[in-house]
């Protein structure tokens, strides 16, 4: 019955996250480099500091935070074409990278960052649903590392992050609201929602889509409840990952 959290393909309860991993310093060149895993979804998030800003920020005293997203061709079940070879990024890629950029900027105080850019790159090594929410969750940790790098170099007067940010997907699968959908669940779901929240619980983005039948206000409430609880766990895990240097 839909009211009871029921078991899923991987044995999880409906309100359970997949095993979470946030591995900092995964590669050596970037100022922040985090491998984030939501179960079998693996995304490498790097944060690069660049001592310049886009034209519309020049002379403003403010910095900028932006993101790009990509997927290795064989991150997916069947190989997808390489966007660099096709010569353009898909609409889906652009939507996701714009979402990641907006989500990160929501917790930054750009004037405290100074006139520099933090360039986030989220590259999916293996995909199993939820790549954009994993990317946001990992990108925050990479961004903190990049800011700590700036701080260690004495380049920041004030800490430029005002809150944490994390994201999770929720959806209604065969009538049951579920947290953190894996690919098979995502493919089968009627309603799919991505929620981005701050550490303090403020909503940054809510993107709900009826894949099959429309959804009701009540279903939406149930999904937001699930997401809220899940994001609290993610923010907790971010803090733990960042606890040590």
- Which residues here bind a second copy, judged by CB under 8 A? 27-30, 33, 40, 42, 44, 46, 48, 50, 68, 70, 72-79, 82-85, 87-89, 91-95, 97-98, 102, 106, 119, 121, 123, 125-127, 193, 197-198, 200, 202-210, 213-217, 220, 224
Q: Is 105 annotated as a binding residue?
A: no
Nearer to a second copy, 13 or 202 (CB): 202
Closest CA to 140 of 125, 160, 126, 115: 160
Nearer to a second copy, 17 or 127 (CB): 127
Nearer to a second copy, 12 or 41 (CB): 41
Q: Is 58 annotated as a binding residue?
A: no
Nearer to a second copy, 55 or 87 (CB): 87
Structure tokens given for 188: 């089968």
H or E element in which residue 186 lies: helix 183-188
Q: Is 202 annotated as a binding residue?
A: no
- Alpha carbon 174 to chain centroid distance? 26
Least CB distance to a second copy at residue 216 (A): 7
Least CB distance to a second copy at residue 242 (A): 20
Q: Is 27 annotated as a binding residue?
A: no
Nearer to a second copy, 184 or 203 (CB): 203
With vertex at residue 202, the alpha carbon angle to CA 201 and CA 204, rounded to the nearest 5 degrees, is 125
Alpha-helical regions (H) of 36-105: 83-86, 91-105
Least CB distance to a second copy at residue 145 (A): 12
Task: Report the b/e string of 66-88 with b at 16+ CB within 10 A.
Answer: bbbbbbbeebeeeeeeeeeeeee
Distance CA 56, CA 225 (A): 38
Closest CA to 188 of 176, 196, 201, 197: 176
Least CB distance to a second copy at residue 114 (A): 18
Least CB distance to a second copy at residue 141 (A): 15
Least CB distance to a second copy at residue 93 (A): 7
Distance CA 126, CA 52 (A): 32
Nearer to a second copy, 13 or 216 (CB): 216
Closest CA to 41 of 198, 167, 202, 175: 167
What residues form the annotated binding site for phosphate? Answer: 92, 130-132
């Amino acid at each position: 019955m839909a009211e009871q959290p029921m078991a899923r393909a991987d044995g999880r309860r409906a309100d359970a996250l997949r095993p979470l991993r946030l591995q900092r310093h995964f590669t050596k060149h970037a100022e922040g480099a985090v491998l984030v895993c939501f179960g079998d979804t693996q995304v490498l998030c790097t944060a690069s500091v660049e001592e310049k800003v886009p034209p519309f920020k020049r002379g403003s005293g403010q910095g900028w935070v932006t993101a790009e997203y990509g997927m290795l061709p064989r991150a997916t079940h069947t190989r997808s074409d390489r966007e660099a070879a096709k010569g353009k990024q898909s609409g889906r890629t652009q939507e996701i990278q714009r979402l990641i950029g907006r989500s990160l900027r929501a917790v930054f105080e750009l004037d405290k960052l100074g006139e520099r850019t933090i360039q986030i790159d989220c590259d999916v090594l293996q995909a199993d649903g939820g790549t954009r929410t994993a990317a946001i969750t990992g990108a925050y940790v990479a961004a903190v590392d990049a800011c700590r790098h700036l701080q260690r170099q004495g380049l920041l007067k004030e800490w430029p992050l005002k809150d944490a940010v994390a994201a999770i997907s929720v959806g209604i699968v065969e009538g049951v609201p579920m947290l953190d959908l894996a690919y098979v669940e995502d493919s089968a779901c009627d309603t799919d929602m991505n929620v981005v929240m701050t550490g303090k619980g403020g909503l940054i983005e809510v993107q709900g889509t009826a894949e099959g039948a429309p959804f009701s206000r009540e279903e939406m409430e149930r999904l937001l409840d699930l997401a809220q609880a899940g994001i609290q766990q993610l923010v907790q895990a971010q803090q733990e990952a960042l606890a040590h240097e």
